[in-house]
Each structure stands twice: as structure tokens, then as C-alpha cells.
Structure 1
Amino acid sequence: MDFPILTTMMLVPLAGAIACLFTPAATARLIALAATLVTFVLGIVLWANYDIGGAQWQFQENRELFAGFSYALGIDGIALMLIMLSVFLMPICILASWDAITKRVGEYMSAFLFMEVLMIGTFAAQDIFLFYIFFEAGLIPMYLIIGVWGGDNRIYASYKFFLYTLLGSVLMLVAMFWMVAEAGTSYIPALMQYSFPEGAQMWLWLAFFASFAVKVPMWPFHTWLPDAHVQAPTAGSVILAGVLLKLGGYGFIRFSLPMFPEASAEFAWFVFALSMVAVIYTSLVALVQADMKKLIAYSSVAHMAIVTVGLFAFNVQGLEGAMIVMLSHGLVSGALFLCVGVIYDRLHTREIERYGGLSFNMPYYALFFLLFTMASIGLPGTSGFVGEFLSLAGIYQSSSLVALICTTGIILGAAYMLYLYRRVAFGTQKNADAAAMSDITAREWAMMAPIAAVVLWMGVYPESFLAPMRADIAVLDARIASAAPASDANLAAGTPRAEAANAVEYALEGEH
């Protein structure tokens, strides 16, 4: 396409963000919804015109602004899927805020639209410094959304969110300057093919890890996340869990693995160790939570741990599984936060004990909540199953011990999610105010039905989402294959069946 569609996808919400600052509340809501819907339509055009099996980098735009810095955009299949996740969730966030936000509505809508610009820019940037600008600037609107429109303890949560994520990125910026001086270019595709000295790779990997581990977030860098989720408005939690957490995983895919493959292999055990602790520890913590939002926040840490072990499994199944888990988690966790927001808007409490028996008076709500609960657990036929199955299959090829421990996360996930659902949707109706709540409205149908449809689509036919990424994941796998750490798997794929057949044949010959 000659049309600069990536720039246009950023200009539309940017124009909407500026317009929202100078219009009344009702008009700002309409402008924000229109801008996000137009951007989503452009995203569909982007996906429809993406040439699967074509050039690795497509829709490229490149304008040198000054020496050493270019306005360079372009996407591969991995970036395409994450951009689609962003533009799909954004109109839903605007709908979720329609009645819930009543003060400074124009500024609130502007912050969301500006964040959409930065998310698209982060995934599309092909200059390393342009990436850094988009990556870090995304902190500002989320900081404002939590700090201005959040809960009672919003100032503490917003400062904690900002400081954790900003401090982790200072080392990354220093590493970027060294890399550009060493390689002589700031162009990300070129840096992905450059062979940095193995000794330097260790320090560079650690510098990038300091930023990406906080963004994911990995244990023990996760402590900002529950506070941020609890204090953020519903739409803030949706976009934080749905897209912003994926920036860390995207960073590992785009920088740590292809640029520092030897260092990634050396530190794989470290990533595995932190991820195994995260799966067990945060799942157990989620099991005892009394606040619904905090429970879902801790579950996010456990699910993203499956992403990190999949990425560092050093095989195609692990990489594909990690990407599908990221997409699925973005949809399902966002939907679960929407489910919390629906009943919070009615009763203004997130305490699990205040509810019960909602399936009697809110049957449609209970149905959506059940679907997203099962998707979070990984029920076959939903998006959660596809991603977790691929990730665990990839992890098993690398380490059976890591696969065993991470698989317990599925059991623990079922425990805390089903326990949550039983207490909210089933049982006796203990409180008259909860029993009197009305079922979901047309606006809430419009929020949750599209996510439910995509969750089922991804679960039934994941090829739609895997196909655009497959060639790029194969390129990444070829790049890191030579550095892959030793596996504890003694048999190659397909060998066990062949050896079993030979053993049976040998035994039969012996009998004769």
C-alpha cells in the first residue's frame, strides 16, 4: 500500500484527543468513540492487506528527521496482531467509561486516545529511539488515568506505577546508545541481525530485562500491578491488562531474543526460575483475595509467567504459544475486569462477599462471566486453551521440570477462578441490594459480546491469528536456534512412538 496507513492510524486518535480537550462531556464521549472506531476499521484494513508469506516488514514508512534518528514505521505479523488487540479493545474502553466517568470527561477521553497513539507507535516503530519514546511516553496517560480518575488510594498507586516502570527503563536507554554506537545504526531490523560481542550481550540483556521484567510484570517486580489495578477505573484496568502488560513480552521478542541470543540462552534458567515462582506464588495469593480486581490482577502475573517461559523455551511452539497467550490474556483479563466493572457500577464495591446468587437476577451477566472464567482457566474451545497448550508443549521440549511446575498453574487457576465464580454467581442471595441489581444493558452487551466472539473464534480456529505470525516466528527461531540451551528431553519429537513400535516388534520376534 502506498497509503501511509500506520501514520493515519495514529493521527486519527491524536486528532480526537486534541478535540476532546475543547468540547463538552457528551461531545467528548462521541468524539472518542468515533475516533476509536475509525482506528479499528483502519486496523481491519491493515490486517486485510497484510501479505501473509510476503516480505517480513510491510507498510513501511521512513523519514529521516535528523542524524541518528528516523521516523521509521513498519510491522511484521507479530506487531500486526498486537496492534489489532490494541485497536479492538479501545472502543470497548470508551464504552466502559460512558457513564462511570463524570468529572473531567474531555481530559479522560483525551488521555485514552493519546495512549492509543502511543501503543500503536510502540508496536510499529522501527527506529530504536522512536520505540523508546513511544514505549516510555505510554506511562504518562496511564499515570494520569490512575492518579486523577482512580480510587481513594490513587496517588500512591500512580506514583508506584510510574516509578517502577520508569526506573526500569533508564538502563535500557543507556544500552540503546551503546548498541547504536557499536552497530552504526538505530534501525531495529538491522539491529536484530547484528552480532553483538558475547561479553557485551550479557550486560545489554540485563539492561533491557530491567525494563521488560517490570512491564510484564515478572515476579518479584510485580508489586505495582495489584495496586494499579485496584485504584484504576474499569477501562484503565482493561487497557493496562489488555495491552500495556504486553509491551514487556513484545520487548523480549523484538530485542532480547534476536539481538542477544547467547545472553538469552545463558539467562534462560533465571527467567524460568522467576516464572515458576510467579505461577505458584501469585496463584496462591489470588486464591485468598477478597477483592475481585486484586484477584484478577494476581492471576495476570501467573498467566504472563507462562508467556515468559514460552518465549525462552527456544522453540517454535513456545514462541507461538507465548504470542497466543498474550493475545488471549489481553482479551480475557480485559473482559474479566469489565465483568467486575459492571457490578461495581451498580453496587460500588468489589468485595466478593457482598455478592452471591447473581445468576438468578443477572443471568446474561453470569453467562458472560462464566465464559471468560473458563477461558481464563484454559477450557478447550476457548482462546486460553490454545495458548497454554502450545506454550506448555514448547516448554516441555526445553525442560520437563519447568513444564511440570507451570502446569500446576492451570490447576491453581481453576481453583481461584471457579471459587470466585461460585461465590459471585451461585449460592444464596445474601444481600438484598445485590439481589435487586438489573441485568446487563445494551451498552454492556456491546462491550462484552465482541470479546466473547473473538475468544471463541481464537479457540475454535486459531489459525487466523497464527498465520500472520508464523513466518516471523520461524525467522526468530532460526536466529536463536544456534544459541538454544541444552534440553533435558532425551528423545526427539516423534521418536517415542517409533521406539515403542520397534520394541514391540523386537519382543514379538523374540517370542518366535
Structure 2
Amino acid sequence: MLTIAILLPLAAALALFMIPSLGARASRGIAIGVAAVPLILLAVVAARFFGGGAQPAFVATAEWPWIPALGIAWRVGVDGVAIAIALMSALLFVAAIAWPIRLDREPRHYYAWMLFLLGVSLGVFLVLDLILFYVFFDLSLVGMYFLIGRWGHGEAQAAATKFFIYTLLGSLAILLAIIGLALSGGGPLSFDMRTLIARQPLGGVDPRSSLILFGFVFGFAIKTPLFPVHTWLPPAHVNAPGPVSAILAGVLLKMGTYGLVRIPLSMMRETVAAYALPLAILALISILWGAFVALAQRDLKRRIAYTSVNHMGYTVLGIAAAGALASGDAAARRIALDGAVVEMVAHGLITGSLFLIAGAFWQRTRDYDLDHYGGLAGVAPRMTALTIVAAFASLGLPALAGFVAEFQIFAGTFATWPWIAAIGLLGVLITAALFLNMLRRLFFGDLSKERQDFADLGRTETAILSVLLGLVLAIGVYPRPLLALIGLGSTPIVAER
């Protein structure tokens, strides 16, 4: 089923490219139908984790030889961490593809590239071979490059080029680190993630292990992104269509944090433990930098983009805390890691929704300037209500998914670095200020004459956002199923060896 979830969107994308007679409506309908299939398949796989009895670390596994001489094969399988992120990603792709958007050119190609990006994105989360991981990780750059460059606005070509160059540099560092990690292990050469997790090929801290870890952290930090390698993100978001921004923030950024969990945290425990504090400090800087810079933005999309730097900093802080406690309390490590994964899921749903809303603003006014709005609550009550829910979830209000994630991250971090947890809480305060300021400037105050005819969200837009934010509320009120699912994957990662 996992193989179908990856390959079906890729095959459908190729078909859309090759059938020139399809119009915009037919292409959109096909893309929605195809995108729904991986979501259903992943839901079926996720249900297997709740079947009772002992569970293997990875389920739904399959393997076919590809390059046997190098130990490379088509390997797929998921644990609780991977399936949670993959499910969120598949749902967000369905929402982004179904989101109403006016395409000035080549709608068939737009939906083909969205399906291509769906297939390769799921590949990153579902494969168990490091070379396949790299292949899909790299191919995601291609899909996003064309979606920004061809269907964006403003300086879209420059933003797409900057995105591609930055992230390609990171992926090359990851490739070198993958080769170094695989060559460091005893036994036959293998790129099987399960084998490398069991071998722990790099023990302790020496120049080789440090350099390999730096390659992973550098590459994944660009993708996440963390300060100071985040500068590609704001222009990419500002110039991309709303649904593409939702995928960029909700799915592609998770490849960086998921990569940190799946590879160095799982395969290089001792080395990660030695460098956990510098990683936590880098995450703390990202938390504060993202919040303060977002507060200064008057452009709606740039403000939301910088909050991603802030929120992904929380995620990396949780990962660092989980790694730092390698010789301490496994329960505290699991709390930190669970919080990081919940943050990935929550951020995808919340910030994906915020970027879809930003896209709705652009569709109506071609303007992101916060100073050009105000008083929209009177003419757009549905947009107002849903934006308020998304903003409150992003700032970590209790009973919403963001609170569940941040509470666990700070609880796990406090067990090792109380001072980092205390300083990091300042980021929560600044995030609250920037979102409350955004809501005031958009929806309250006097309505200007040029906004008198501002159109509220339509039925399709309202339905899509209601599903995404309904899940945010459900996770916030009753997080137990998600935490149980994630825990099945996080427990082996933090277990004492």
C-alpha cells in the first residue's frame, strides 16, 4: 500500500502532462481524486497500529532489490512517527489541490506538478532506504521550484531560484553525510535505515562522526529552516500561490525535522548527545528570531512565513532535548520527542490553513499589506472566525493542537536545560503579540471604502479550512490517539540501549 501511495500520484502526474485535451476542471477533479487515494491508504495503514498485540518497529514493510552490489533497494515501511507526518501531509495535499484558485496559465501542468510533489513528498516519509530518501528529498526541490516559478507572482522566478540553490546545497551536504554514515558501519554495505539504526555505526565523538553529524544538521537546518540559513523562506512564500505556500510550510519544512529524527537522532545517538546543547541553542535563536522578525512585518505572508522559523525552532528544540537525555530519563526524552512530532503535525495543519487564508486575500485584492485592511469582520465573518482559530492555535492557546505540542516540548526541555526553556517561553509571548496585532489590523477597526465589497470565504474554502482546523481542535481537546500513535515510533528511538 505504501508503494502505491508513492507511485500512483507520480503516474497520474505523468498522465496529466501527456493528455493535452484536459481542461482546468477535469485536471483539478482528477488531481483531487488521485490525491485522496494515498490519504485513504495511509489511514488504513495507521489503523494497523491500533490493532492490539505486539507491534514491530516498522509496519507495512516491503522490499525489492534495486542495486544489490551497493546494498540499495526499494524499501518502504512506517513507524508511528512517520505515519503521523505522512497522514498530515496527504491531507494537506488534498486540501491544497481542492482549494479554489484562479490559474492564468497551464492549469493541467499546475495540477500535474502538485501530484508529482505529493508522490515525492510521501516518498521522503515512507521509504526505509537512505539513498531513496535522498532521491525523493532532492526531487521535492524540482516540484516546488516549478510551482513557485511558473505560477507565483511578483519576483517568483528569483524566489524559486533562491529556494532551489539553498536547498540543493543542503541536500548535497546530506548526501555526503549519508555516504559517510553508511561506510562507517561494520558488516556489509547497506543503506537500510533499520540496519543502520541497529548497528549505530558511529559511537562517541571524533572528527569523522562530528563532520557527518554537521552534514546532516546543516542540510536539514536549511530545509527546516533554522537561523541563519532561513533567508530563502520569506521570498518563496510571498511570491508563491497560497496553496503552494501551504504545502511548502506544511509538508516540505517537515522533511528537515523528520530527517533529523529519522537519521542522526536514531542512528548516531552518542554523537547527537554530545552536540545536543549547541543544537538547542540554535533552535532557541530561531525561536526568538522568528518571533521578533515576524512581529515587525507589515506583509501578511512574510509575517506568517517568519512564524514558521519560530515554530520549527520549537520542533528542533524538542529533538535536541530528546537527544541530550541519552543517559537520563527515557520518559522525559519521549515527552520532548513526542512534542516535536506533534508540533510537526500541528504546524502543518495550522500554518497550512493560514497560508490558504493568505491566498484567499490575494485572490480577492492582490494585496498582502496589513495596513490596507481593517474592519473585515463585518463583511467576512467566516474568514474572521477561521483566521482567529488558526491564529490562536498558532500562538499556543490551550484546547488547540499548538498547546499540546509546545507544552510537551518545554516540559521535556526543562528536564535538561531549564534556562533554555525559560528563555524560549519569551517566543510564545512574542508570537501571541504578533498574531493579536495581525487580527486587529485585518478584521477590526473601521472598514475602508475600497474594502466594502470584500468577499467572504466561499463554501469550498470554508469546508476545507473547517476540516483542517477541526482536526487542530480535536488534537487539542483529545490528543490521546495521536500521542499513542506517535509513541509507538518515539519509544524505540529514546529507549536505552
Name the structure 2 match of 1:472. Answer: 489
Query: In terms of Rg, which structure is larger?
Result: 1
Name the structure 1 match of 2:293. Answer: 285
State whether residues 145 and 164 of structure 2, in contact with CA within 8 Å, keep that contact through their aligned partners in structure 1: yes
The separation in 2 between residues aligned to 1:278 and 1:27, in whole angstroms, is: 43
Deviation at 1:26, TM superposition (A): 2.2
Deviation at 1:12, TM superposition (A): 2.4
Name the structure 2 match of 1:422. Answer: 440
State whether residues 9 and 115 of structure 2, in contact with CA within 8 Å, keep that contact through their aligned partners in structure 1: yes
Deviation at 1:177, TM superposition (A): 2.0
Residues 408-450 of structure 1: per-residue CA shift (max 9 Å, x gap): 11100000000000110111112x2322112211111122110
State whether residues 193 and 258 of structure 1, in contact with CA within 8 Å, keep that contact through their aligned partners in structure 2: no
The separation in 2 between residues aligned to 1:15 and 1:179, in whole angstroms, is: 33
The separation in 1 between residues aligned to 2:98 and 2:361, in whole angstroms, is: 15
Amino acid of the residue matched to residue 470 of structure 2?
A: A
Deviation at 1:131, TM superposition (A): 0.8
The separation in 2 between residues aligned to 1:271 and 1:433, in whole angstroms, is: 48
Alignment of 1:403-442 (within 5 A): 403-430=421-448, 432-442=449-459
Amino acid of the residue matched to residue 307 of structure 2?
A: S
Name the structure 1 match of 2:41. Answer: 42
Residues 126-177 of structure 1: per-residue CA shift (max 9 Å, x gap): 1111111011111000010111111120111111101111111212212222
Name the structure 1 match of 2:419. Answer: 401
Name the structure 1 match of 2:335. Answer: 317
Name the structure 2 match of 1:185. Answer: 190
Q: Which segment drifts farther, 198-207 or 421-430?
A: 198-207
State whether residues 169 and 210 of structure 1, in contact with CA within 8 Å, keep that contact through their aligned partners in structure 2: no
- Is 2:234 the counterpart of 1:226? yes
Of residues 138, 141, 165, the one that matches 1:139 is 141
The separation in 1 between residues aligned to 2:153 and 2:459, in whole angstroms, is: 26
The separation in 2 between residues aligned to 1:12 and 1:437, in whole angstroms, is: 40
Query: Is the partner of 1:151 in helix, strand or coil?
Result: coil
Amino acid of the residue matched to residue 341 of structure 1?
A: G
Amino acid of the residue matched to residue 475 of structure 2?
A: M
- Is 2:116 the counterpart of 1:79? no
State whether residues 352 and 424 of structure 1, in contact with CA within 8 Å, keep that contact through their aligned partners in structure 2: yes
Name the structure 1 match of 2:356. Answer: 338
State whether residues 347 and 433 of structure 1, in contact with CA within 8 Å, keep that contact through their aligned partners in structure 2: no
Amino acid of the residue matched to residue 46 of structure 1?
A: V
Structure 1: runs of 5 or more not aligned = 483-512
Scaled by the length of structure 1, what TM-score is found?
A: 0.90
State whether residues 127 and 186 of structure 1, in contact with CA within 8 Å, keep that contact through their aligned partners in structure 2: yes
The separation in 1 between residues aligned to 2:316 and 2:361, in whole angstroms, is: 33
Deviation at 1:66, TM superposition (A): 2.2
Name the structure 2 match of 1:95. Answer: 98
The separation in 2 between residues aligned to 1:450 and 1:174, in whole angstroms, is: 41
State whether residues 201 and 262 of structure 1, in contact with CA within 8 Å, keep that contact through their aligned partners in structure 2: no
Amino acid of the residue matched to residue 7 of structure 1?
A: T
Amino acid of the residue matched to residue 147 of structure 1?
A: G
Scaled by the length of structure 2, what TM-score is found?
A: 0.93
The separation in 2 between residues aligned to 1:209 and 1:284, in whole angstroms, is: 24
The separation in 1 between residues aligned to 2:178 and 2:98, in whole angstroms, is: 39
The separation in 1 between residues aligned to 2:348 and 2:288, in whole angstroms, is: 21
Name the structure 2 match of 1:18. Answer: 14
Of residues 460, 468, 474, the one that matches 2:477 is 460
Q: Which segment drifts farther, 433-442 or 403-412?
A: 433-442
Of residues 237, 258, 269, the one that matches 2:277 is 269
Amino acid of the residue matched to residue 63 of structure 1?
A: W
Deviation at 1:364, TM superposition (A): 1.1
The separation in 1 between residues aligned to 2:34 and 2:213, in whole angstroms, is: 38
State whether residues 160 and 236 of structure 2, in contact with CA within 8 Å, keep that contact through their aligned partners in structure 1: yes
Deviation at 1:290, TM superposition (A): 1.0
State whether residues 283 and 413 of structure 1, in contact with CA within 8 Å, keep that contact through their aligned partners in structure 2: yes
State whether residues 6 and 123 of structure 2, in contact with CA within 8 Å, keep that contact through their aligned partners in structure 1: yes
Deviation at 1:203, TM superposition (A): 1.3
The separation in 2 between residues aligned to 1:65 and 1:35, in whole angstroms, is: 27
Residues 229-248 of structure 1: per-residue CA shift (max 9 Å, x gap): 00111111000100100011
Name the structure 2 match of 1:164. Answer: 166
State whether residues 148 and 240 of structure 2, in contact with CA within 8 Å, keep that contact through their aligned partners in structure 1: yes
Residues 325-377 of structure 1: per-residue CA shift (max 9 Å, x gap): 11101110011111111122111111111111111011111000110010011
Deviation at 1:386, TM superposition (A): 0.3
The separation in 2 between residues aligned to 1:236 and 1:251, in whole angstroms, is: 22
Query: Is the partner of 2:7 in helix, strand or coil?
Result: helix
Name the structure 2 match of 1:490. Answer: none
Deviation at 1:197, TM superposition (A): 4.2
Name the structure 1 match of 2:55. Answer: 54
Give the alignment's Cα RMSD to 1 decimal: 1.3
Alignment of 1:95-134 (within 5 A): 95-96=98-99, 98-134=100-136
Structure 2: runs of 5 or more not aligned = 323-332
State whether residues 226 and 283 of structure 2, in contact with CA within 8 Å, keep that contact through their aligned partners in structure 1: yes
Name the structure 2 match of 1:379. Answer: 397
The separation in 1 between residues aligned to 2:192 and 2:443, in whole angstroms, is: 52
Amino acid of the residue matched to residue 457 of structure 2?
A: I
Identity within the alignment, %: 33
Name the structure 1 match of 2:67. Answer: 66
Amino acid of the residue matched to residue 384 of structure 1?
A: G
State whether residues 203 and 271 of structure 2, in contact with CA within 8 Å, keep that contact through their aligned partners in structure 1: no
Query: Is the partner of 2:450 in helix, strand or coil?
Result: helix
Alignment of 1:248-259 (within 5 A): 248-259=256-267
The separation in 2 between residues aligned to 1:82 and 1:282, in whole angstroms, is: 23
Name the structure 2 match of 1:500. Answer: none
The separation in 2 between residues aligned to 1:72 and 1:124, in whole angstroms, is: 9
Name the structure 2 match of 1:216. Answer: 224
Query: Is the partner of 1:63 in helix, strand or coil?
Result: strand
